[in-house]
Structure 1
Amino acid sequence: MSVDLDLQVDLAGRAAAAWMLGSFIVVFLATRLVVRLIRAGKGPFRDQSVGGVHLHHLVWGIFGMLIAGVGEFTYRPEPPWQYVLAALFGAGAALALDEFALWLHLSDVYWEREGRLSVDAVFVVGALMALLVLGANPLDPDTGGGVLVLVGTILVNGLLAILALFKGRPLLGLLGFLVPVIALVGAVRLARPTSPWARRRYPAGSSKDLRARRRFPERERRRWDAVVDAVAGRPNDPAGVDPGGADPGADPTPEREQEGAR
């Protein structure tokens, strides 16, 4: 009976995670489509403002996550309402993380080069959600080794994941919080030359510095940029003009007039 109950709880949790992931992906893609249409001046969509202040969509995302969190912690609903709250949380997370770079820089960098960090954050969090759907859960209390083994495993794995993050490997580091082997791989591999670890531990011109620069050439970043461009649209160049005019979402109006197209 206990085994059957645990199985039911696990399946319900993974189903909720699937609703959360599905909502997260759909809302992120829809949001990017809408903002690119706004940027191009096409379609019925327009910027939202209250009292002359532009209302970024991360505001709606924060409200969505708050409502979902309060509903889950207060009422602990069973399916299907559990799935409704999971979908609401996923939608809110997509709206909020789509403007993650704005949180970090405290500036409207949505269409700037720094704004790419938002897409990186969305991809990483989406991967974490996918692992939850597959059943990865390092905080599962069901362990035959006892509480001390569980706590020790979480601490060691957490340290390895943090080390991977400091080495400039955000995907391996964040995924490593759920899958210990991934954290170990990120912790032992060579750091990226622009990472905090490399700046502190790899003196300029040292053998490790040269190896890191050979291992992570600039063309690797350009390949990733091409993927991000296809999903999220091209950022402005430093002069504020869309590079090459290749992006169908390019807006030729001055930067101040584009400011609301987020």
Structure 2
Amino acid sequence: MGHWLQRNIVEPGKLPLLLALAAFVLTFVITRVITRLIRAGRGPFGNVKAGGVHIHHVVPGVVLVVVGGFGAIASREGVGSGVFAVLFGVGAGLVLDEFALILHLDDVYWTEEGRQSVEVVVITAALVGLVLAGFAPFGVNNVSAEELQNRGGVIVTVGVNFLFSLLALSKGKTRVALFGAIIPLVALVGAIRLARPGSPWARRFYRRRPRARAKAGLRAYRHDRRWTVPRRRVQDWIGGRPDPRFTGPPGRR
């Protein structure tokens, strides 16, 4: 294990990224445990308030992201880079745990919309994990020294894979586009398959093709029916079940 860590993480300079990812995941897990305990009325934890204002944990998260980000840029290497990477990871975990709150500009932590925070955290951790494992954005992986010298080939590779990801995004397949930026085959599959109903691609190219619209709608229905329930169960297990009756900030956690 030590040899693998030295060869694949330390020598390539990926240790700060590993520390940031570990801090990010650990912070999210601890934060969710604490908020679920507060929600259940257990433990010594409670909401943080200052002058009657409820302080969401996204606030210290933003501070830590700023400190960790600028600190990492300034230090670049050595012990300092590792310390600032941890600070950045902790801050990112706190911020993305309340991603839905930022998106909706409302306290939706325990509502249906709050699931978006869990999904963003999972996707972020997965993407960073892929980069940590050696996958480069837009498919420039396992490139030899000779191939690197051929800048034209690298540029074409990046451009084509970027185009595939962009096509997948235009077809309403956000997750596929994100992971396709790291794994080109995923983007290729998303680019060639039918678009989801309501996506920019469907509105532009399926408008006068009723059969294509019907087929796309049927495929989206079958996909959602198959995966929505399992995905929500996983989200509930990670972040807690949303409360549709929740109406406001007081005592939300």
Shared fold by TM > 0.5?
yes
Cα distance in 2, alignment partners of residues 134 and 74 from structure 1: 25
**Cα deviations across residues 63-99 of structure 1 (Å, max 9, x unaligned)?**
1111111112122232x33222222222111111111
Letter in 1 for 2:243: N
Instruction: Provide the residue aligned with 2:40 in structure 1.
Output: 40
C-alpha RMSD of matched pairs (Å): 2.7
Instruction: Provide the residue aligned with 2:113 in structure 1.
Output: 114
Task: State the percentage of identical aligned residues.
Answer: 40
* Residue 208, structure 1, aligned to residue 207, structure 2: no
Q: Which segment is superposed worse, 196-205 or 145-154?
A: 196-205
**Cα deviations across residues 172-221 of structure 1 (Å, max 9, x unaligned)?**
21122222222222222233346454455445773333432343243421
Cα distance in 1, alignment partners of residues 37 and 206 from structure 2: 44
Cα distance in 2, alignment partners of residues 146 and 126 from structure 1: 32
Letter in 2 for 1:234: R
Cα distance in 2, alignment partners of residues 219 and 137 from structure 1: 31
**Which runs of at least 4 in structure 1 moved beyond 6 Å after TM superposition?**
7-10, 139-142
1:93-108 superposed matches below 5 A: 93-108=92-107
* Residue 81, structure 1, aligned to residue 52, structure 2: no
SS of corresponding position for 1:13:
coil
Do the aligned partners of residues 221 and 8 (structure 1) sit closer, same or farther apart at CA in structure 2, a change above 3 Å counting?
closer
Conserved? CA contact 1:101–1:115, under 8 Å = yes
Conserved? CA contact 1:21–1:90, under 8 Å = yes
Conserved? CA contact 1:14–1:134, under 8 Å = no
Q: Which segment is superposed worse, 26-35 or 56-65?
A: 56-65
Letter in 1 for 2:124: V
Do the aligned partners of residues 225 and 200 (structure 1) sit closer, same or farther apart at CA in structure 2, a change above 3 Å counting?
farther
Instruction: Provide the residue aligned with 1:52 in structure 2.
Output: 52
Letter in 1 for 2:42: K
Tell me how far 1:18 sits from its aligned partner: 1.6
Instruction: Provide the residue aligned with 1:157 in structure 2.
Output: 161
1:187 to 187, 191, 214: 191
Q: Which segment is superposed worse, 142-151 or 82-91?
A: 142-151
Conserved? CA contact 2:195–2:216, under 8 Å = no
Letter in 2 for 1:231: I
- TM-score in terms of structure 2 length: 0.82
Tell me how far 1:22 sits from its aligned partner: 1.2
Instruction: Provide the residue aligned with 1:244 in structure 2.
Output: none
Instruction: Provide the residue aligned with 2:63 in structure 1.
Output: 63
Do the aligned partners of residues 24 and 256 (structure 1) sit closer, same or farther apart at CA in structure 2, a change above 3 Å counting?
closer
Conserved? CA contact 1:192–1:216, under 8 Å = no
Conserved? CA contact 1:17–1:132, under 8 Å = no
**Cα deviations across residues 86-118 of structure 1 (Å, max 9, x unaligned)?**
222221111111111112111111111111111
1:230 to 225, 237, 241: 237
Conserved? CA contact 2:72–2:81, under 8 Å = yes
Conserved? CA contact 2:65–2:87, under 8 Å = yes
Do the aligned partners of residues 30 and 8 (structure 1) sit closer, same or farther apart at CA in structure 2, a change above 3 Å counting?
closer
Q: Which runs of 5+ in 2 are unaligned?
A: 1-6
Conserved? CA contact 2:194–2:216, under 8 Å = no
SS of corresponding position for 1:103:
helix
Letter in 2 for 1:131: L
Q: Which runs of 5+ in 1 are unaligned?
A: 1-6, 242-253
Cα distance in 1, alignment partners of residues 200 and 110 from structure 2: 26
Do the aligned partners of residues 68 and 257 (structure 1) sit closer, same or farther apart at CA in structure 2, a change above 3 Å counting?
closer
